[in-house]
């Protein structure tokens, strides 16, 4: 039997970039409904090239073949706040990456999601050298636990790292959680974004499948 593991954060009041209000009630209008307001990079979400590349591909046009399939996980724990994740940190995984591979970096950072300042402002980041390696290897998908692959308070860094990855057409998923539940077994990733036409990114439901 296939085991389904949810790697997606719940959206709820207090989550940065998310808001909802009741628009209809069963008791008055006859059904329950809410109006949702979503920032395109809130919670567990995916980036399209347009996020940092002028004229880049949009989220509704990304290659979904990159988003579904066998996935490699690099367990990098423990990771210090603001640490730069290097090629050496990935060890043999970095050497063995192949074109089209899907990669998740486990840092344990999702444990800080309730502490917004730590989660957002002290996140571990992908080094320039690692970003270039992933681009050179032409991997298809990269997933991380923090809300970004780079320092969101450093425009130069966040632009550079995103541009390296997105110019290589790597699909980026940020804000993953619950990676501990994967154990040590192989898994298949299923990362499906919403489909807003022309968008630079959007929230996604991301799961892992294990036999």
pLDDT tens for the chain, 211 residues long, are: 899 999 999 999 889 999 999 999 999 999 999 999 999 999 999 999 999 999 999 999 999 999 999 999 999 999 999 999 999 999 999 999 999 999 999 999 999 999 888 999 999 999 999 999 999 999 999 999 999 999 999 999 999 999 999 999 999 999 999 999 999 999 999 999 999 999 999 999 999 999 9
- What are the sequence ranges of the domains in the chain? 3-11+41-210
pLDDT of residue 116: 84
Q: How remote is the C-alpha of 109 from its chain's centroid?
A: 12
CA angle 151, 155, 159 (to 5 degrees): 85
List the one residue out of 128, 125, 131, 145 whose CA is nearest residue 81: 125
pLDDT of residue 60: 98
Right CATH for 3-11+41-210 from 3.50.30.50, 1.10.1270.20, 3.40.50.720, 3.40.50.300: 3.50.30.50
Tokens of 141: 């998908």
Helix (H, G, I), strand (E, B) or coil at 83: coil
Separation CA 54–CA 64 (nearest Å):
21
List the one residue out of 132, 202, 188, 141 whose CA is nearest residue 163: 132
List the one residue out of 43, 19, 13 whose CA is nearest residue 177: 43
List the one residue out of 169, 173, 166 whose CA is nearest residue 192: 173
By the 10 Å C-beta count (0-12 exposed, 13-18 middle, 19+ buried), 11 is classed as middle
pTM, full prediction: 0.96
């Amino acid at each position: 039997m296939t085991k389904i593991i949810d790697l997606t954060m719940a959206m709820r009041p207090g989550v940065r970039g998310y808001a909802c209000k009741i628009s209809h009630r069963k008791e008055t209008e006859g059904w329950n409904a809410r109006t949702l307001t979503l920032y395109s990079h809130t919670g567990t979400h995916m980036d399209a090239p347009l996020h940092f590349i002028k004229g880049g591909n949009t989220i509704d046009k990304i290659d979904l073949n990159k988003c579904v399939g066998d996935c490699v996980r690099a367990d990098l724990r423990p990771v210090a706040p603001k640490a730069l994740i290097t090629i050496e940190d990935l060890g043999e995984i970095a050497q063995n990456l192949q074109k089209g591979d899907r990669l998740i970096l486990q840092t344990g950072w999702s444990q800080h999601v309730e502490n917004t300042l730590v989660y957002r402002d002290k996140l571990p980041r992908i080094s320039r050298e690692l970003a270039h390696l992933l681009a050179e290897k032409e991997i298809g998908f990269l997933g991380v636990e923090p809300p970004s692959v780079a320092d969101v308070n450093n425009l130069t860094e966040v632009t550079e790292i995103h541009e390296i990855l997105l110019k290589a057409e790597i699909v980026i998923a940020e804000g993953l959680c619950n990676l501990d539940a994967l154990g040590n077994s192989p898994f298949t990733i299923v990362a499906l974004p919403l489909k807003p036409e022309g968008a630079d990114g959007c929230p996604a439901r991301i799961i892992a499948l294990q036999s």
